[in-house]
Structure formats: structure tokens, C-alpha cells
Amino acid sequence: MSSALLHTQNLTIGHPKDGHPLARNLNLSIERGQLICLLGPNGAGKSTLLRTLNGLQKPFAGAVWLDGQLLSKLDPTQRAKLVAVVLTERVQMGWATVQEVVTLGRFPHQAGWHARPTPTDHAMVASALQAVHIEKLATRYFQELSDGERQKVMIARAIAQQPSLLIMDEPTAFVDWLRRLEIMQLAQRLAHDCTCAVLMSTHDLELALRFADWVWLLDEDGQLSVHTPLQLVDSNDLQRAFPSSVPEELTRLLAHIGMNRNAG
Amino acid sequence: MNKRTQLLWILLAIALLFAFSAVLLFGSVRIPPGQIWQAIWGQPLTDEKWRVIVWQIRLPRAITAVLAGTALGVSGLQMQTLFRNALADPFVLGINAGASFGVALFVLAVSGAFGAQLGALTWGSSLGMAIAAAIGGGLVLLVVLALSQRLSPVTLLLIGLMVSYITGAGVSILLHFAMPERTQAYINWSFGNFGGVTTRQLQVMTPLVVLPLVGSLRLAKPLNALLLGQDYAQTLGVPVQRLRRELVVLTALLSGTITAFCGPIGFVGLAVPHIARNLFRTADHTLLLPACCLIGAILALVADIIAQLPASQYTLPLNAVTALIGAPIVLSVLLKLGIRE
């Protein structure tokens, strides 16, 4: 357990103001090199869980340990060097170029208020742009880009932050199918090639089952189950988590994936 | 830095020089430019009265305009970034109104010296007035900031407007119980004026503007991160709550000081950041902050020249002039936003 990049100890998530937590007593762990997809119906608390794991929101109860330290005790810069995020909120950057937005990812690595980007900063930004295949957009203005391109810029910005853990909240929402595939491939490559872990929420069941090393399934009752994609297909948890979804669709999808497995 | 940016800096510097000289040149008394030059460098003049005019009236006036424009431009930029709202500025958010209330309260309650001109105030009471204005402005800003969580930009402006009405009502009540001549003095002050600041008051005003300005320039990089929104900024390691507090204090000091000494001046804070962004085509605060200083100073000087109606016996209220220059700029921004949505 101590080797885990992140682990939680009886973590309960939710807004204290709401009175009742969304999910209780979570004991989760994330290791470097893993791509973890968080699935679950709307309103189950996926975003709240992600926000709690990166420190944007305080735990209702319990604790989050990051790299052997309590997340709540880390200072902001230290935390920013360990965790980067891609959120769902729309960003408006005015006259900022893609290059400038991605360079913001270097903020926690730049000391002092006057510091100019160092050669390391430039190199990291360049490789982040390259990782997401948007080198050509570098000098374009952020506000002129399409939604899909903006999403990629935000991912590049997070990569430039050189995190040990990359947390993305529905990065595949609002982008076309090809881009979704691209983002999933990128997430997998980041997790498997680098020494970082990727945790992302998504509604894309099929892609999640195809790419994830682990699937965290959060259902409406706040139950979180952890499976490998194959275990998940064999279990009843999916049907339990999505009771309202079209059962035939789900069954067909699972059968399809099961077939692929048998074939492979 | 590319060619375009370099050229812009040079042009702005020249424009500032011209506008500053023009304020020295124009006034109710006609002084030859050569004589003004000689007065500044302490050389003998044809008429020694001119030396007094240059040193006691025109130089303080020009310096005040530069300080005011700089402070308001930077305040506006900070507010627009903090609230992520293209239409935020100290005036719109009600900070000026809060500062005015602070001034009215201080002058009417503490010193009975709301004399014919606020210029008659002593060193100590100038400082007191500026602090009262900063506290009034800061309190309003805190209220607006607390109310602004999760509200749309337009709602925020309406909140600012309502807060302005409330503090305005407070000022009205104070004035109602004040002496008529004091009321008149307050009304004169509320028109806005760069000419009412004496050399002695400048000694108070200058550090109260320059120190917060230095503080603001240091925040350029966290402000850039703040453009992404507070959540993103926090995950980048920006201590967002501390940054917000710092911005509140700096903006309250900057716009409070200007309000105390020059009256409530609208639209400069709103228009300057837009001019800066569109001229330099950047969102980078390391460029925008100094750009807002320069453009704010130029705009304030130009507004002052227009308000003086050179070659005439009359003057215009400064507030009216800044509104006439600033409002069309704001309108064009609004229309552009409308088209994009």
C-alpha cells in the first residue's frame, strides 16, 4: 500500500453543507503506470470524487494520501507538481496563444514572480504540444480553436505540468468520436510510457473497457467497485450501476466485448 | 518581444510625453512653451508668476492625472481578471461608490473641514481621507466578491450597481444633514478633477499609488494563471484565497486613493484594459499591467485636456469627459461579446 502513488483511507466524499455524503469509506489506490477510468451514472459523484482526490474539495471524512503525504498538508506548489487536472469548465483566455496557455502548466516549476521561462520550460511545453499533436496550433489564439482543439490544449497544459498523477474529468465529452479515441490512446500512452498515472471519468463505456487498466464504477448508492475491464464484463455491477440504461444495449455491448476476449 | 510590440511601446511612450506636455501647456493663463521649459529647470522667466503656475498648478495636475490613470487602469485589469468579467472595473463594481461613502463619512464626521475646496485639507487629513476611501472601497469589494460566487457576469454588474445605490443613499443621507456649502463642495468633488490636488497632497497620494502598483506588477504571473479560472489556478499551485485578498487590498488602495483625491472617475478602469488587450493582442499580464499603466496615464491626461476646453474660459466636468471617451469603447466590447454569443 505504501508504494501507491495515491491512496485513500476511509474516504467519504460530499459537501458538508448537503448533510449526506455521496460515497462512504472508500479505500482506493492508484499506482504509477495505471490508466484508471471512473464510470458511473450522472449525479453519482464522479466529479466530487475527482475534485476530492486532487484537493480542490475537502474530504467529508477520511484522508487522501499522495506520494506518502497527506494531501491536505501539502503546500499548493508541491501539490501542483504532483497532480495536474483537466476540468470540464469552459476556459476563456482572450488573446492568449496556445503556447501561452500550455506554458501556464509550468507555473509550479517557475520560482519567483519575475521568472522567465527557462530552456527546460520551453522543452517541456514543446514536448507537451507534441504529445497531443498540436504543434501546429502553437501560435494560434486559444479563443479561435474548436472545442475539441481546446480540450487538447488543456490536456497539453496538464502534461507540461509534469504531474505524477493526471486527473481528467470527462475529457472525451463534447468531442467527436475520432478525438475521443485519440484522447484515450494518449491517456494510455501517458500512463504506460511515463512514470505517471492517469485517472479519468468518462461516459464512454466501450472505450473505457478497451483502454483502462482498472475501472472504478461508482453507482448511485455511493458504492464504488474496482475491476479490471474483463472482471467488470463478467460481473453484474454494470447493470446495477446503470439500472435505467437500455438493458439490451448494455447486454449487447458486453456480449460484444466478451466475444472479442474469447477471440483474442 | 516582436516588432509590433516594440513599436507599440515606443508609440505609447511618445504619446504619453505629448499628452503630459499638453497638460503643462494648456490652462487659463497662456504661457509660452519655452517659458514652461525654463520654469521647470529653474531658469529665469519673463514673468515670475508663471513659475508658480507651472510648479503649483500644472505640474501637480499632470502628475495627478498620470497617477490616477495608471491606478485606475491597473485596478480595472485586476478586477476583470479576478471576476473573469470583461465589464468589471472599480466604478462598475461599486468600489468607487464605497470609497465616496468613506470620504463623505470621514469629511463630515471627523473633520468639519469640508471647506470650499477639498484641497484645503492638511497632510494628516488627506491621509485619513485616502484611508477612509480605501476602507469604504475595500468593504464594498469584499461584499461584491462574496456575492459574486457562481453568478453570471451580468448579475455581478447588477450587484455592483445595487451596492452603488446603497452607498449612494448613505452619502445622500449624510449630505442631507450637512451644511449647504459642504454639500456644494461634495458635488464639485463628485464631478471629478485632477486639478484639486496640491503639491502637499501629492506627497501623500504618490506613495499610496506607487506602492500598490509595485505590488500589482508582482502579481502578473498568478494573474495569468487566474485567467484559467480559480479551480485551475489552484491546481497550478496559486494560493487563490491569498491572491484574492491581495487583489482586494491593492484595488481598494489604488481606486480608493484616486477617488479620495480626484473624485469618482468612471470608465477609465473599464476601457483601459480593453485598449491594452486589443493593441497588444495578448492576455499576458506581464505585458498588460505595464501597458495599462501607460494607456491609463495617456487617457487620463487626454481627458483632462478635453475637460479644460483649451482656448476657452470654460471647463467640463472630468467625469463627463471620461464617460464620453470610455462608454463607446465599452459599448463596442459589449457588441462584440453579443456577436460571439
Whole-number pLDDT of residue A94:
82
Count of domains for chain B: 1
Taking the Cβ of residue B182 and every Cβ of chain A, the question of whether any pair is shorter than 8 Å is answered with no
Q: Which cell goes with B111? A: 473633520
Q: At what angle do helices B199-218 and B123-147 cross, to 10 degrees?
A: 30
Instruction: Name the residue among A80, A90, A13 with its Cα closest to residue A53.
Output: A13
Burial string for A17-28 (b: 16+ CB within 10 Å, else e) reads eeeebbbbebeb
Q: What's the CATH number where B90 sits?
A: 1.10.3470.10
Q: Can you list the residues of chain B whose pLDDT is less than 50?
A: 113-119, 341
Distances (CA, A) of A183 to A134, A165, A203, B330: 13, 16, 14, 40
Minimal CA separation from A226 to chain B, in Å: 26
Instruction: Provide, as residue numbers in chain B, all residues whose Cβ is less than 8 Å from the Cβ of A79.
Output: 235, 237
Minimal CA separation from A188 to chain B, in Å: 22
Taking the Cβ of residue A104 and every Cβ of chain B, the question of whether any pair is shorter than 8 Å is answered with yes
Whole-number pLDDT of residue B114:
44
Helix (H, G, I), strand (E, B) or coil at B308: coil
Q: Which of A95, A104, A115 shows the shortest C-beta gap to B236?
A: A104
Note whether A77 contacts B228, CB cutoff 8 Å: no
Whole-number pLDDT of residue A133:
93
Note whether A92 contacts B84, CB cutoff 8 Å: yes
Average pLDDT over residues A222-237: 86
B49 vs A242, residue with greater confidence? B49
Whole-number pLDDT of residue A182:
92
Containing structural domain, residue B45: 3-340
Question: Minimal Cα distance from B286: which residue of A?
Answer: A114
Mapped to the 3 state alphabet, what secondary structure does chain A carry? Answer: CCCCCEEEEEEEECCHHHCCCCEEEECCEECCCCEEEEECCCCCCHHHHHHHHCCCCCCCEEEEEECCEEHHHCCHHHHHHHEEEECCCCCCCCCCEHHHHHHHHHHHHCCCCCCCCCHHHHHHHHHHHHHCCCHHHCCCEHHHCCHHHHHHHHHHHHHHCCCCEEEEECCCCCCCHHHHHHHHHHHHHHHHHCCCEEEEECCCHHHHHHHCCEEEEECCCCCEEEECHHHHHHCCHHHHHCCCCCHHHHHHHHHHHHHHHHHC
Q: What is the pLDDT of residues B78-102, one digit of tens each?
A: 999 988 888 888 888 888 888 888 8
Instruction: Provide, as residue numbers in chain B, all residues whose Cβ is less than 8 Å from the Cβ of A84.
Output: 235
Mapped to the 3 state alphabet, what secondary structure does A97-120 carry? Answer: EHHHHHHHHHHHHCCCCCCCCCHH
For residue A148, pLDDT beyond 60: yes
Note whether A107 contacts B231, CB cutoff 8 Å: no
Whole-number pLDDT of residue A117:
85
For residue A15, pLDDT beyond 60: yes
A5 vs B88, residue with greater confidence? A5
Instruction: Kindly give the pairing relationship between strand A83-86 and strand A197-201.
Output: unpaired
Note whether B237 contacts A107, CB cutoff 8 Å: yes
Of A71-75, A216-220, B157-161, B300-304, the one with minimum mean pLDDT is B157-161
For residue A113, pLDDT beyond 70: no
